[in-house]
Amino acid sequence: MSAKFTYRRLDKNNAAVLLVDHQSGLCNIVGDFSPDEFKNNVLALADAAKYFKLPTILTTSFEAGPNGPLVPELKALFPEAPYIARPGQINAWDNADFVQAVKATGKQQLIIAGVVTEVCVAFPALSALEEGFEVFVVTDASGTFNHTTREAAWSRMEQAGAQLMSWFGVACELHRDWRNDIEGLGMLFSNHLPAYRNLMTSYSAQQK
């Protein structure tokens, strides 16, 4: 008889965001999303992290090499966030400063996105799961070479216990109730989903 399912939902009071290796060089090899779509998804997740005031950690891998520097928009959004420029470790969890920054948040739920999915996302996700964290992988703010490698990475992480979500799903689960703030979340969605801007425009017209 299978164990009873427990719905482990995101809690804005117990969640931190890890943005792993969204670097100018690495983003050029993302092939499972168009460049514009991928950048929009990453910035949407970042805006959601800022909107919900979630502790956010930025990390890069071997910036001096072909991976390149962090995407500048992320640094601009989180000027005070911990920024861990790893000298060479491929798995961010192998870097003591990164792990220390994660644990210093005091949060047990980790929302992870990065480039590339099967390495820069999967490795720290699996490592965090092993240490008892709840892991939520933001699939559309993580990119890799193609759909085959993406599916393999998703399967590996999901089998280990990670929850796979979209940035929109993350934002809605954190928000819980539209009555908490209609205009604020609606504006965030409108900034990243053109169709949602039409919805909010219609809503605003009805309020007059």
Q: Which of these is catalytic: 48, 116, 120, 137?
A: 120
Count of C-beta atoms within a 10 Å radius of residue 34: 10
Half-sphere exposure at residue 132, Cβ-oriented, CA atoms within 13 angstroms: 4
What H or E segment, with its residue span, contains residue 57? strand 56-61
Looking up tokens 């969890």, which residue turns up? 93
Based on the residue annotation, tell me whether 27 is a catalytic residue of this protein. no
Q: Across the chain, how many H-helices and E-strands are there?
A: 9, 6
Burial of 113 (0-12, 13-18, 19+ CB in 10 A): buried
Question: Which residues are tagged catalytic?
Answer: 120
